[in-house]
Structure 1
């Protein structure tokens, strides 16, 4: 199965590079942000579901997959952290939404222990085999 082109599309976006770092944006598969010093904002992604696009006759030519994208931000000023997470989530959305369907948005409260803000959204991709 093909992986969604999230990272490739994000790297092409000047807006994403401006908020998530350049030349390599801070976008990691879930659980793989191993930076010794975490730089905010950053994004993580994980494929949460997938299925072939079946037909009555013949083999499917497309696989559908849903990717959950989480954007994280933290700053000394809570208002600044909230702006950072919103700006990064918007930049990612704008970078990918012409190649997928955004199917869900989730705004999470600030984590009381870590003080990290998070916005999640789901992207459904139809990937040619």
Structure 2
């Protein structure tokens, strides 16, 4: 049985290594799918052992969550005009007129069925 030669070990600062892991996971998510982000897959892409990725993200769900946030933030920044990139994300969707007490407002917004006559 022959073993593969191991590449030289590169020691990185914890913040740098964590950011590298998140960037790699986000790239996999954007290029392939969020479901393809696994500790092993990220480790393979980086040329490290899965245990190293697991050190920073003990649960795969934590890695997927952070990768999604990183990818979504990057996509948001790419879509916004430069002056608005620093603004925080919206706290939610605007209030809908679907809950409005007047049926005419709700139906004109396309939220419900047409009122009975």
Normalised by the shorter chain, which TM-score bucket? under 0.3
TM-score, normalising length: structure 1 = 0.24
Structure having the larger proportion of residues in helix: 2
TM-score, normalising length: structure 2 = 0.26
Structure having the larger proportion of residues in strand: 1
